């Protein structure tokens, strides 16, 4: 398997979604492309799965069977029970990285007081094909999903707000050239690894499912269906919403982008790459409102303020090593008035709100690495949380807003630690080592 070729495909997809990677190790490789006209698949209507929100015995919407060269995705029935949990004492908990403050009793105390009982992360090598979970308090870990088919990868792990479902995207790459994306889709599984279901799936090569986001009530998933273009071809990003209640897969806009839900679940804010702007779409009426549009800017992943009327917007450099323009930074944008305030000059991609909607955590791109920063929306300058670290996998706040889950490594060439940081004293505790390339974690 050509890891450099595979990395280029991921790079193409995430550049299509405006992700600026922190390393410059990706190479160019030739590959087959399918240039058939793009199609938009609308999922078949299935029996209501309203019970899925409260019951473990439920029929989920299923994909209409299609003929594919790869086997149907399955999780090993014995996977949750066939691995011996790793004792807590053997894990290097509370071991600081060299460039962070010494880990303190505060971070271990915060871990013991967490409401979160499970952390999910990718593993299985550079091209991750496994999903694991670890108990942050005991350190016991177990594999809940794996697929050993050559060319298979998992990505974009997102736990539902109700904590009842884990969704993730999957990709099958050509095992010969290691580059051509044969098939991609979105799957859902229970946190214990049971009831694996395919929600949506592509039917053409080099079409990718990416960037899923749960609705606040855990009944819908917004995601991107994106075409990975050859040189000279036009990129395509379609914003979809899949309903767990009806099984319908609806196209919200054919010129979509990375998105987030309003707190009430009635609207979606998204960044359009083709139109170079930030827009809000009302899901009931289908009407759209332009919040910010500028053909000279590149926008990152918008984040809607919890319980508030603002959206955090990032303006990014096109290349990490380019001198930053005056426009680059993190902005707070009022949805009604469209007024905006600049909170930071950081070149970042996806800010994350604290649960109370008063602070933003973001990963700053710098040459050769990343820095973790925190900024309040009402007072004080930005605070640097970590320095000289590659910080990958979007940081995720705990429910109480006192700690953050993130993955860190000393360099881009080392394995990553799934870690927890205490906000108050910035101390860091390592949970578990993962060998995935650019891993993600969630809780």
Q: In what order do the strands lie in the sheet with 383-397?
A: 352-353, 359-366, 369-376, 383-397, 403-409, 416-422, 428-434
The rounded distance, in Å, linking the Cα atoms of 306 and 262 is 8
- Between the CA atoms of 242, 243, 247 and 248, what dihedral angle is there, to the nearest 10 degrees? -60
The rounded distance, in Å, linking the Cα atoms of 330 and 271 is 14
- Our CA angle for 268, 274, 275, nearest 5°, is 70
Nearest CA among 22, 3, 1 for reference residue 316? 22
Nearest CA among 181, 117, 194, 192 for reference residue 155? 181
DSSP assignment string, 134-195: E-TTT--EEEEEE--STTEEEEEEEE-TTSS-EEEEEEEE-TTTS--EEEEEEEEE-TTS-S
Residue 59 lies in a domain: no
Residue 63 lies in a domain: no
Residue 77 lies in a domain: no
Pair of tokens at residue 115: 């409401």
Pair of tokens at residue 122: 């990718």
Residue 251 lies in a domain: yes
- Residue 89 DSSP SS3: helix
The reported pLDDT for the residue numbered 256 is: 92
Within 10 A of 176 (CB to CB), how many other CB atoms are there?
12
The reported pLDDT for the residue numbered 103 is: 57
CB 198 within 8 A of CB 247: no
The reported pLDDT for the residue numbered 394 is: 74
Q: How many helices (H) and strands (E) does the chain have?
A: 2, 28
Residue 55 lies in a domain: no
The rounded distance, in Å, linking the Cα atoms of 14 and 269 is 19
For residues 308-328, b (16+ Cβ closer than 10 Å) or e, as one string? bebbbbbbbbeebeeeeeeeb
What single-letter DSSP state applies at residue 295? T
Residue 49 lies in a domain: no
Within 10 A of 230 (CB to CB), how many other CB atoms are there?
12
The rounded distance, in Å, linking the Cα atoms of 406 and 439 is 10
What is the total count of domains within the chain?
Answer: 1
Residue 48 lies in a domain: no
CB 427 within 8 A of CB 107: yes
Residue 304 lies in a domain: yes
Nearest CA among 224, 285, 221, 212 for reference residue 247? 221
CA dihedral for 76, 79, 83, 89, sign (positive or negative): positive
Query: Which residue in the block uniquely carries the two structure tokens 């500028």?
Result: 294
Q: Which residues pair with 91 in a beta bridge?
A: none
Q: Which residues of the chain have pLDDT under 70?
A: 1-103, 319-324, 367-368, 387-393, 412
CATH of the domain at 408: 2.120.10.30
The rounded distance, in Å, linking the Cα atoms of 54 and 49 is 10
The reported pLDDT for the residue numbered 104 is: 73
Q: Which residues pair with 185 in a beta bridge?
A: 170, 201
Q: Which residues pair with 394 in a beta bridge?
A: none
The rounded distance, in Å, linking the Cα atoms of 118 and 111 is 11
Query: Which residue in the block uniquely carries the two structure tokens 């299609």?
Result: 66
The parent domain of residue 309 ranges over 3-28+83-442
């Amino acid at each position: 398997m050509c890891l450099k070729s595979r990395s280029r495909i991921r790079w193409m997809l995430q550049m299509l979604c405006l992700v600026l990677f922190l390393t410059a190790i990706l190479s160019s490789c030739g590959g087959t492309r399918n240039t058939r006209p793009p199609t938009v698949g609308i999922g078949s209507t299935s029996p209501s799965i309203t019970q899925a929100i409260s019951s473990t015995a439920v029929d989920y919407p299923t994909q209409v069977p299609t003929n594919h060269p790869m086997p149907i995705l399955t999780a090993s029935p014995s996977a949750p029970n066939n691995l011996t949990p790793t004792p807590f004492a053997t894990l290097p908990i509370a071991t600081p990285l060299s460039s962070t403050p010494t880990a303190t009793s505060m971070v271990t105390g915060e871990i013991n007081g967490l409401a979160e009982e499970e952390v999910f992360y990718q593993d299985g090598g550079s091209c991750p094909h496994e999903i694991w979970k670890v108990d942050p308090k005991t350190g016991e870990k177990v594999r809940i999903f794996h697929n050993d088919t050559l060319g298979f990868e998992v990505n974009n792990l997102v736990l539902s707000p109700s904590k009842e479902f884990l969704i993730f995207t999957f990709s099958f790459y050509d095992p010969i050239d290691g580059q051509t994306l044969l098939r991609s889709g979105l799957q859902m599984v229970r946190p214990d690894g049971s009831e694996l279901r395919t929600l949506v799936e592509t039917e053409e090569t080099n079409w990718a499912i990416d960037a899923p986001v749960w609705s606040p009530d855990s009944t819908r998933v917004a995601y991107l269906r994106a075409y990975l273009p050859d040189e000279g071809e036009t990129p395509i990003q379609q914003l979809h919403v899949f309903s767990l209640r009806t099984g319908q897969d609806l196209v919200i806009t054919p010129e979509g982008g990375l998105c987030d839900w309003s707190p009430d679940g009635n609207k979606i804010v998204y960044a359009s790459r083709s139109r170079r702007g930030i827009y809000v779409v009302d899901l009931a009426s289908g009407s759209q409102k332009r919040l910010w549009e500028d053909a000279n800017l590149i926008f990152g992943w918008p984040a809607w303020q919890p319980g508030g009327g603002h959206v955090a917007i990032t303006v990014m450099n096109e290349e990490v090593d380019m001198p930053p323009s005056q426009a680059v930074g993190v902005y707070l944008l009022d949805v009604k008035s469209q007024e905006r305030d600049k909170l930071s000059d950081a070149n970042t991609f996806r800010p994350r709100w604290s649960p109370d909607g008063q602070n933003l955590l973001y990963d700053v791109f710098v040459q050769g690495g990343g820095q973790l920063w925190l900024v309040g929306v009402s007072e004080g300058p930005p605070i640097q949380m970590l320095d000289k670290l590659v910080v990958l996998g979007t940081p995720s706040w705990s429910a109480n807003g006192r700690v953050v889950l993130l993955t860190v490594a000393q360099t881009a060439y080392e394995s990553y630690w799934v870690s927890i940081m205490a906000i108050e004293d910035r101390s860091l505790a390592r949970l578990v080592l993962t060998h995935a390339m650019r891993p993600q974690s969630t809780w």
